[in-house]
Amino acid sequence: MNLKPDTLKRIDEVIPHYPNKRSASLPLLHLVQEDLGYISDEAVEWIAAKLGLQPINILELVTFYPMFRRKPIGRRHIKVCRTLSCALMGGYRTCAEFKKQFGCELGETSADGEATIEFVECLASCGTAPVVMIDEELHQKVDAAKAAELSEKIKQEGAAARR
């Protein structure tokens, strides 16, 4: 499996922190998802082998916890805050605009692979609600019009990259 050397190092460091290897399952899943963007079947088998467990032991965690993704994410990862301040200031309308722009539902990736849209909890910028993170960039006061602008920019970048 193609994990970055830094991820492999962190995995090897984290395992001895737990009294039994099984307890390291969740930290390993987080590290692998951070690196690959999702948890593939291959990742499930790899983690199980690493911890001396059966793949089903890992798979049941992946299916139980909603934060684990089973499919690759899009080129850009759009995270819309849905916590109180953002919800009151129109975060749901912002989200609806992103879904319309990319033609996909929450938790899904657009057909062209450009974007994955998700709701997240408070992004610690409540005074500038509604707030959206696109990959690691924070965007403030994102109303529907600004969501449309940001979407357009993402589509143009994607088109330019494909040329």
57 or 85: whose CB is closer to ligand FES? 85
SS3 67: coil
- Asked whether 86 and 126 are in contact (CB, 8 A), the reply is yes
From the list 129, 132, 147, 154, which residue makes contact with ligand FES (rule: CB under 6 A)? 129
User: Count of residues binding ligand FES (CB under 6 A)?
Assistant: 12
Tokens of 54: 């059966």
43 or 117: whose CB is closer to ligand FES? 117
Q: How far apart are CA 134 and CA 6, in angstroms?
A: 23
Angle at 26 between CA 59 and CA 30, to 5 degrees: 100
Residue 131 sits in the site that holds ligand FES (CB under 6 A)? yes
Residue 147 sits in the site that holds ligand FES (CB under 6 A)? no
Residue 125 sits in the site that holds ligand FES (CB under 6 A)? yes
Positions in 64-83 near ligand FES (CB under 6 A): 81, 83
Residue 123 sits in the site that holds ligand FES (CB under 6 A)? yes
Q: Where are the beta strands (DSSP E) in 21-158?
A: 76-81, 115-120, 132-134, 137-139
Site of interaction with ligand FES (CB under 6 A): 81, 83-86, 122-126, 129, 131
